[in-house]
Amino acid sequence: MRFVPFPSAAKRPSADLCCLPFACDSSGGVVPLFDDTRLQQAVGRLLDTTDFRAKVGESIVLYPESKTESRLMVIGLGELSGITTDTIRQAYAKSLSSLRKRSLTSVTCMTPRVEPVAPQLVYRGILEGLLLGSYSFQEYRSEKEAMAIEEVGVLAEDPSAFLEVEREVIARMSALSLCRDLVNQNADEMNPQGFAEVASTLSRDGLMVTPHGKEWIERQGMRLLLAVGKGAQYEPRFIIAEWQGAPQSHEKTVLVGKGITFDTGGLDLKPFENMKGMKGDMAGAAAVLAVMQAVRDLKLPINVTALMPLCENSIGSRSYKPDDVYRARSGKSIEIGSTDAEGRLILADALDYGVKDLGATRIIDVASLTGAAAVALGPDISAFFSNTDSLAYDLEQASVRAGEPLWKMPLHMGYVDLLDSDIADCKNVGGRAGGAITAALFLHFFVGQTPWAHFDLGGTSLLKEPRLCFGKGATGVLVRTLVDYFLQLSKTNL
Ligand code: ZN
C-alpha cells in the first residue's frame, strides 16, 4: 500500500473508491467532515434517509455518476465532539476490512476536518486504520484473499506534515505486521531456531542481531531457560538485538520478550481448551523484535537492546519437574510450584543478564504471562506494573497515542510472602488469587533497583474472537506503544 498526498478535493486522483467521512452531531443529525459540495450532493439522497447514522466504523458503499471514482464509501466517525485519533483509526480499519472481498486497487480519502484534533493526528488515524483494516494472515491459504490496494490518495493540505506522519506510520505498522505474522505462524515452524532465522534477517543498517545457541546459554548460567526447554526436541535460543543510536550516551533501554514458542504447560499439563492459542506464547519476543525493526527503520537516536529467551515448554521424559528446585542465573533458588508458570522463569534469567551484564538504565519486559491478567482486564486492555512512576507515566502516555489501552496494576509488596518456599529461596507461583501481581513480584526479584516496567499481555496478544480493529489471532499489541515511547524518548531525552 502506497500513500500519495493530494492538495484539494478538486485535484484528487481517480480511484476505485473514495472515502467520505461523516460525524453525528448532538441532535443525532449526520454532518459531512469534508468541503467538496459535489461529493456532498452525490450522497445527499442517502442522508435524506435514516439508513446511515455515522456511528464509529459504520460504512455504506454508493455507486455515483462520476468519472473520478467508481464507488463512494461514507464512513462514520461517531459523535463530532468525541472524535480522536483512535476513533478515526477504528472507523477506517473497520470500513476497509468490510471491503476485503472486492477487487480494489486504488482508494482516495477526503481527510476529515475535526478541530481541535491536529492534522498530523488525523493523518495518523487514517493511515493506521487503513493498514490495520487491510491486514490478514494468508500464509497457509492455497488461494490468497489478501487485499490488493496499491495506492491510497490522501487529501493533505500540509504535505510535509503528512510525509513525516507517513514515515512513522509505515515503520510502526510494518513492525506490527511482522509481530502478528510471527505469532500467527505454526509453532513447529516458529520454533526457537525458526524464530532466530527470521530475527537474523533484520540484522542490517546498524541493527545487530545475534542468536545464541544452547552452549552459550549454558556458559551464561541461564539454568531456568535450560530447565524450561529441557523436554522439547528443539534446543533453546537466546537472541540479542542491539541498536546503538546514541553512542555518546550512557542511557540504555533493555527490552525483554517472553519467547515460549509453544506452551503445553509442561508436566503440569494444560487442559485442552487452554492449550489452544499457545503457539502465541512467544508474543512478547515477537513484539520486542518487531519494535527493534521500527527503531532501525526510524534510525532513532537512542540505545536499545532487545533480549529474547526462546524455548518450547514441552512434555516428555526429560521435562523439568514440579517440586524440583532450580537455581536462577542470579543465584536465587526457585522451587517449581507449577511447570506452567514457565514464562517468568525464562524472563528471570534474561532480566538478570540485562541488568547485570548489559547495564540497563531501564528495563521493560513484555510477556503473555498470566490468565489472571485476562480475567481482570479482558481482551482490550493490557496489564502493566512498574517500580518507577515516571517510566509508568511515559508508557501510559505512549499507549494513549497508540490507541492501545493499558491499566497499571499494583506491585503490592504485601503479597511477596505468597511466593515463600519451604525448601528454596522462593516459588515460581503464588496461587490463583492475585496471580498477575505475584507473577510481577517474582520478576521484580531480578531487576534490583533498575527502573522497570512489566507488561502482562495474557488476555490481549491473541484473540479468540474478532475485536475492534482486529480479527481472530495475533494482535501485535504493545508494538505501537513501545515504538511511540521510543519516538518520544528520542525527542525529549536520551
Ligand atoms: Zn505456561
- Tens-digit pLDDT profile for residues 285-325: 999 999 999 999 999 999 999 999 999 999 999 999 999 99
Q: Tens of pLDDT along 380-418?
A: 999 999 999 999 999 999 999 999 999 999 999 999 999
- Is 361's pLDDT higher than 70? yes
| Contact in structure between 260 and 311 (CB atoms under 8 Å) | yes
Q: The sheet that has 333-335: what strands, in order across it?
A: 325-327, 333-335, 426-427
426-427 and 325-327: which strand pairing?
A: unpaired
Mean residue pLDDT across the chain:
95
- C-alpha span between 427 and 419 (Å, rounded): 5
Residue 94 banded pLDDT, cuts 50, 70, 90: very high
pLDDT of residue 66: 84
Å from CA of 465 to ligand 1 middle? 21
Tell me which CATH homologous superfamily contains domain 174-493: Zn peptidases (3.40.630.10)
Å from CA of 222 to ligand 1 middle? 18
| Contact in structure between 106 and 147 (CB atoms under 8 Å) | no
How many CB atoms within 10 Å of residue 281? 27
User: Which whole number is the average pLDDT over 166-170?
Assistant: 97
CATH architecture type of domain 2-156: 3-Layer(aba) Sandwich (3.40)
Å from CA of 275 to ligand 1 middle? 9
pLDDT of residue 82: 94
Å from CA of 258 to ligand 1 middle? 11
Helix (H, G, I), strand (E, B) or coil at 468: coil
Q: CB under 8 Å to 114, separation ≥6 — which residues?
A: 23, 33, 77, 80, 83, 88, 122
Catalytic site residue from 344, 362, 401, 427: 344
Å from CA of 415 to ligand 1 middle? 21
Q: Is 270 a catalytic residue?
A: yes
Closest CA to 299 of 230, 348, 244: 244
Topology match between the domains 2-156 and 174-493: no
Determine the residue type at 153. Answer: G
Q: Where are the domains of the chain?
A: 2-156, 174-493
- Is 493's pLDDT higher than 90? no
pLDDT of residue 354: 98
Å from CA of 370 to ligand 1 middle? 8
- According to DSSP, the residues that pair with 333 across neighbouring strands are 327
Q: Is 344 a catalytic residue?
A: yes
- Is 65's pLDDT higher than 70? yes
pLDDT of residue 28: 83
- Is 26's pLDDT higher than 80? yes
Å from CA of 435 to ligand 1 middle? 13
Closest CA to 149 of 89, 90, 109, 91: 109
Alpha carbon 301 to chain centroid distance? 22
Residue 1 is placed in which grid cell? 500500500
**Dihedral angle computed from the Cα positions of residues 307, 309, 310 and 314, in that order, rounded to the nearest 10 degrees:** -160
- Is 494's pLDDT higher than 60? no
Q: Tens of pLDDT along 423-468?
A: 999 999 999 999 999 999 999 999 999 999 999 999 999 999 998 8
- C-alpha span between 283 and 236 (Å, rounded): 16
User: Which whole number is the average pLDDT over 118-134?
Assistant: 95
Catalytic site residue from 55, 113, 214, 270: 270
